[in-house]
Amino acid sequence: MKPMQREGVGVVCPNRYDWKRLEQFATAIFVRAGVSTRDAETVARSLVHADLRGVHSHGLARMPVYVERISAGLIDVSKAPVILRKAGATAVVDGMNHLGAVVGEAALQTAIEIAGKNGTAIVGVRCSNHFGACSYYAEQAIQKGMILFVMSNAPQTMAPTGGIRPFFGSNPIAAGIPAGSAPPFLLDMATTVAARGKIALARKKGEAIPKGWAIDERGRDTTDPAEALRGALLPIGGAKGYGIAMFVDILCGLLAGAGYGPGVHSLYDNDEHPQNVGHFF
Cα 2 to Cα 5, 71, 271, distances in angstroms: 9, 11, 8
- Taking alpha carbons only, the member of 219, 222, 172 closest to residue 202 is 222
Under 8 Å CB-to-CB from 156, ≥6 apart: which residues? 166, 167, 168, 169, 261, 262, 264, 266
Residue 279 among the catalytic residues: no
Contact 273, 115 (CB under 8 A): no
Contact 194, 184 (CB under 8 A): no
Gap between the Cα atoms of 38 and 279, Å rounded:
22
* DSSP structural state of residue 192: B
Gap between the Cα atoms of 225 and 200, Å rounded:
7
User: Which of 49, 58, 98, 130 does the annotation list as catalytic?
Assistant: 130
* DSSP structural state of residue 56: G
Which amino acids are annotated catalytic? 130
